[in-house]
Amino acid sequence: MALLLLVGFVAGVITAVSPCVLPVLPIVLAGGAAGDRRRPYAIIAGLVASFTIFTLTATALLSALGLPQDLLRNIAIALLFVVAASLVVPQIGMLIEVPLSRLSRRRGGDLGGGFLLGASLGLVFVPCAGPVLATVTVLAAQHQVGADTVLLTLFYALGAGMVLLFIAIGGQRVSRRLRANTRWFRPALGLVVAAAATAIVFNLDQTLQTDLGSYTSALQHHTEQSAYATRHLAQLHGGDGLSKRMSIKLPDTSLRDYGAAPDFRGISNWLNTPLDRPLSIAHLRGKVVLVDFWTYSCINCLRTLPHLRAWYAAYHPDGFTIVGVHTPEFAFEHVLSNVLGAVHRLRVDWPVALDNNYSTWTAYSNQGWPADYLVDKTGRIRDIHLGEGSYAKTEAEIRSLLGISGASRPAVDKTPTEVTTPETYLGLDRVDSGLFGGPPPVEGRPVEYKLDATVPPNSISYGGQWTLFSQAALAGAGARLELHFQARDVYIVLGGKGRVTTLLNGRPLGAISVNSDRLYTVFNSRATRDALLELRFSPGIKAFSFTFG
């Protein structure tokens, strides 16, 4: 168990350096800078305590009292605004500090206010759910919290808290040099806290978290996704996951058979079905079904949505559907109105099942978010994928089960009979080194690339400044791409806002106005072309992949 606790601690550290920390980071910095040298310790103590306690007990406690599941989160957000007001208006701060000073044994200290701020942060801190946190959440939801679970949650929180403590102390030391005029300093910090709290209210933080990509996935793979961690986490909740069970390799196919798909169990509500009526695996016979376990605040899940949308739009007419099993990670995700708002905001058009009691999760022996189970027309699971990535493989399997041959397509099947350039990804996780021209790519930092003098067929070349992440390439100053393709039609998945100018064999072709994360048409032709395509990007645009028809 000691080694598993160390894994939990390291998982917390990884969380604190991931995009998940962004919503609370400015509050930690501003809150720590607003008091004496002891205040950062009080803030982190409050965060660790509230996160540990309420991750394990919030859902059960609120249900027992008959209170809304998002009550604690709403109270915490309100407290953040109160703290912001106390920094902006000194009189409010004095009224708050008097009763809270009793929490500190030293007069004049502000440990009580710091602890209250940290406790509020612990209730709005939404980490990216890796295997450690997923195991803790499931056990808490199933009321199976023992000493091991409490210790694992505590060590996870301590790992995240240690990093945030260093950040708070560093911010405090920097702030001491900026306090030339104390009259503006505390109000400025208050505005920072208020702005961060507003972003949390309106889910504005999720956009930035999603755009940054999962740059900590490699660290997770070597810690909480290691063989040791997987085995011991499974022992805590008494299962080994459906993906670990015996499967049968069928002849003449690359797909395996994991047995009959469990039915949807214990669903409290259905969304996006006719009259919100329930679905079942039996009623979906004859369709290819992707059972997608997700939750709306999970950043890892949000990054999969553009691919799910594309598949649903492209293959739904052919008998493909998605069932999004929304299994909540945190108490506020149990609330129907919150999920309804998220489904609308995130443009989730396929059926969604609210699995608030983890009944379907348990039936599938699921182990984390996101997780996809591909079910064939006879109701048998043919592929399982945990986490992000491998989108091209999943799409190929969907097409195989639907009986669609040829290369993938963006919407309507226009698969050509001629040889075409294969789907080409621009993120490092899925870039094909055989298609990549020029010097080796560098991950996570802006680099100036130089276009190749000659781009071989079916290859790409980067030019200008690019920041390459696992799933996408982020354009900087003078960013360009050259693609030597063979196809009738060329499409590209782009995100952000800006403009992309296109040239074909050096001649102006047109421009693409980018306003959302989706598939854009670059070029259409009646005949297959062997040509050089150049794209010139305005800074801030994300490029994910090319597809061809």
- Alpha-carbon span 433 to 183, nearest angstrom: 56
Give backbone dihedrals phi and psi of 172, rounded to 5 degrees, phi first: -65, -40
Strands 320-326 and 352-354: parallel
Residue range(s) occupied by CATH 2.60.120.260 in the chain: 424-548
Q: Is the dihedral of CA 155, 159, 161, 166 positive or negative?
A: positive
Burial class (CB in 10 A: 0-12, 13-18, 19+), 418: exposed
Give per-residue pLDDT as tens, 514-531. 887 666 788 888 788 889
Q: Does the pLDDT at position 282 exceed 90?
A: yes
52-66, 131-145, 243-257: least confident range: 243-257
Helix (H, G, I), strand (E, B) or coil at 534: strand
Query: Residue 487 — very low, low, confident or very high, per pLDDT cuts 50/70/90?
Result: confident
Residues 136/64, Cβ–Cβ less than 8 Å: no
Residues 6+ apart with CB under 8 A from 486: 418, 419, 420, 421, 457, 458, 528, 529, 530
Question: What's the mean per-residue pLDDT of the chain?
Answer: 79
Structure-model confidence comparison of residues 59 and 276, the more confident one: 276
Q: Which residues of 220-253 are buried (b: 16+ CB within 10 A; e: fewer)?
A: beebbbeeebbebbbebbebebbbeeebeeeeee
| Angle value at C-alpha 7, between 6 and 9, nearest 5 degrees | 60
Q: How much is the average pLDDT of 276-288? A: 94
Could you give the CA distance from residue 409 to residue 333 in angstroms, rounded to a whole number?
34
What is the model's pLDDT at position 103?
A: 46
Range of 233-237, 279-283, 342-346, 526-530 with top mean pLDDT: 279-283
Question: Taking the CB of residue 546, how many other CB atoms lie within 10 A of it?
Answer: 24
Residue 470's closest CA among 191, 213, 143? 213
- How many C-beta neighbours within 10 Å does residue 344 have? 11
CB 346 within 8 Å of CB 206: no
Angle at 287 between CA 282 and CA 290, to 5 degrees: 90
Per the listing, tokens 């949505």 go with: 305
CA distance 506 to 344: 42
**Distance of alpha carbon 304 from its chain centroid, rounded?**
8
CA gap 259, 264 in Å, rounded = 15
> Which two structure tokens, joined as six digits, stand for 447?
């680099």
pLDDT exceeds 70 at position 43: yes
pLDDT tens digits, one per residue of 435-479: 454 566 778 888 888 888 888 888 888 899 988 887 688 999 999
Please give the Cα distance from 345 to 342 (Å, whole number): 5
DSSP, residue by residue, 231-255: HHHHHHHT---GGGS--EEPTT-S-
- In DSSP notation, 270-334 reads EESSGGG----TTTTTTSEEEEEEE-TT-HHHHTTHHHHHHHHHHHGGGTEEEEEEE--SSGGGG
| Helix 391-402 / helix 305-315 crossing angle, nearest 10 deg | 20
CATH ID of 424-548, from 2.60.120.260, 3.30.70.20, 3.20.20.150, 2.40.340.10:
2.60.120.260
For CATH 3.40.30.10, list the domain ranges present in the chain. Answer: 244-402
Give me 384's structure tokens.
């399982």
Task: Return the minimum-mean-pLDDT range out of 106-115, 256-265, 274-283, 391-400.
Answer: 106-115
Higher pLDDT, 423 or 3: 3
Asked if 282 contacts 375 with a C-beta cutoff of 8 angstroms, the reply is no
Residue 286 and residue 283: Cα distance in Å, rounded?
9
Q: What is the pLDDT of residues 104-127, one digit of tens each?
A: 444 444 566 678 888 888 877 766
Rg (CA), the chain: 25
Share of the chain above pLDDT 90, in %: 23
Q: What is the mean pLDDT of residues 493-497?
A: 83
Q: Indicate the pLDDT class of residue 204, thresholds 50, 70 and 90.
A: low
Per-residue pLDDT, averaged over 11-36, amounts to: 76
Segment (H or E) for 353: strand 352-354
3-state secondary structure of 39: helix
Nearest to 23 by CA among 165, 214, 199: 199
Assess whether pLDDT exceeds 70 at residue 238. Answer: no
244-402: CATH topology: Glutaredoxin (3.40.30)
- Does the pLDDT of residue 360 top 90, yes or no? yes
Matching residue, tokens 């790519």:
441
Edge-to-edge strand list for the sheet holding 381-386: 269-271, 352-354, 320-326, 288-294, 371-375, 381-386
Q: What is the pLDDT of residue 417?
A: 43
pLDDT tens digits, residue range 151-170?
888 998 898 889 889 888 88
